[in-house]
Chains A and B, each alone.
Chain A
């Protein structure tokens, strides 16, 4: 485990300054996700508040050995936004996509350390056939349902599911190889 505490670990330990930094670092990321899921701006802002409350409340659950902090933040946000959509008995609105580049720009050291993995994953994604890549993108990035993907791509539903499972598994396997041969810590 890194001796350098993450923002969430610091929040869990009561470091008030980390809370401010957390807002500055991740509000854009959470906001962009919220805007993708929720059309109404006021609702989207309220959802962002909910997400941060959850982040602060559950900061102690973040484990840097299992994921990077920003992945965990996105997971919590995504989960919360989906829950919200389900409560309102509707599909996520899937608003215009937003980038997160500027949100992570302060995490330069992490980006540098991660560049090797980036190339590996990009290679995996680029190596996928276009059909599989599109299915994974539509599901994870565009938030489309399996049925919608099947309709859009004209693929059988079973094929869509298979692409998703195999795609994620392929990335996992490839990264495991990278771990085993020492190209990734």
Chain B
């Protein structure tokens, strides 16, 4: 495999992350001219793939639904955008010539760029493979090829998890904080599956624009610092919520689960009070 010039990779990465000074930009242009390759998009693809990978790994507790009004607006946009174009109703009306034309057009555009050296193409493979994470991390660990089970809602998934061996259930300890001392419920966790759920009854609602709850998982075997378990919201009027746990890192033997209230999006290191705790 061809080695990548460290300086070039640095600069491409930093440009993709939006942090190049004018001097660095000039140097990047020089290197790109020398490198004889079209690699910036590949770096961006790599970053996008990594971003998506972490998104997938972040799990299912922060699903946000596309507003119906936005979805409709997009369809309306599409109608306007494609309104003047001749388009078949469905794929069966899409002739081979149509596709060949599209591919030929793309190839023509690409052929105007200098030919990429071997690492460029290989990075493309890397990018494609990294994307695997995007979709594959979303699969349940026991998902077998050919099987595509319907996802369970959190309550059903929690119930199913409790039925499995090795699943532990920890009740929330009474909180010393008045607003939270009436909170009850439990934490369900299964080490083997790296899956778990919070059940919270009487948890005060939060305004996601102002603050969000964040789960922390204490795993002394892994690290002295607690593992980020993801942020979540408690909507108004919720008597009880069940939140899937999204440990950002692997957790082997969690000793405790704790919830803090943080800025929207959560924090990397919390200095806020622990509102409620469940411990072994």
Contacts of B55 in A (CB 8 A): 32, 97-100, 141
Number of residues in A with C-beta < 8 Å to the partner? 100
- Assess whether A141 is in contact with B50, with CB atoms less than 8 Å apart: yes
A79 and chain B: residue at smallest CB distance: B44
Question: Measured between C-beta atoms, what is the minimum distance from A148 to chain B in Å?
Answer: 10
B41 interface hit (Cβ, 8 Å): yes
A104 contacts which of B13, B49, B138, B231 (Cβ < 8 Å)? B138
Q: Please give the distance in Å from B48's CB to the nearest CB on chain A.
A: 4
Q: Is there an interface contact between B49 and A67, defined as CB atoms closer than 8 Å?
A: yes
Interface residues on B, range: 35 or more
- In whole Å, how far is B279's beta carbon from the nearest beta carbon of chain A? 23
Q: Which residue of B lies closest to A69 (CB)?
A: B131
Closest to B85 in A: A14
Given A66-B127, A126-B250, does the pair A14, B98 have CB atoms closer than 8 Å?
A: yes
Q: Please tell me which one of the listed residues A15, A70, A116, A139 contacts residue B91 in the complex, with CB atoms under 8 A apart.
A: A15
Interface of A is mostly: helix
Partner of A96, one of B42, B60, B62, B250: B62
Which stretch (B3-11, B28-36, B171-179, B251-259) binds chain A?
B3-11
Which of B73-81, B154-162, B270-278 touches A? B73-81
Which candidate, B63-71, B184-192, B195-203, B234-242, is the interface stretch facing chain A?
Answer: B63-71
Bound form: Cα–Cα A181–B248 in Å: 30
Contact partner of A66 (CB less than 8 A), chosen from B77, B89, B93, B124, is B124
CB distance from A123 to the nearest CB of B (A): 11
Contacting pair B94 A13 (CB below 8 A)? yes
A118 touches B133 (CB 8 A): yes
Chain B residues, Cβ within 8 Å of A132: none
CB distance from B150 to the nearest CB of A (A): 9
Q: Would you call A72 and B45 a contact (CB within 8 A)?
A: yes
Residues of A within 8 A of B (CB): 1, 5, 9-10, 12-20, 23, 27-29, 31-32, 35-36, 39, 41, 45, 48-49, 52-53, 56, 59-63, 65-68, 70-72, 74-75, 78-79, 82, 86, 94-102, 104-105, 107-108, 110-112, 114-122, 125-126, 130, 133-134, 136-142, 145-146, 152, 161, 164-165, 168-169, 171-173, 175-176, 178-179, 184
Starting from the known contacts A13-B98, A86-B18, 10 additional A-B residue pairs (CB-CB under 8 Å) come to A5-B99, A52-B74, A60-B109, A68-B128, A71-B49, A71-B130, A99-B63, A111-B136, A117-B132, A122-B137
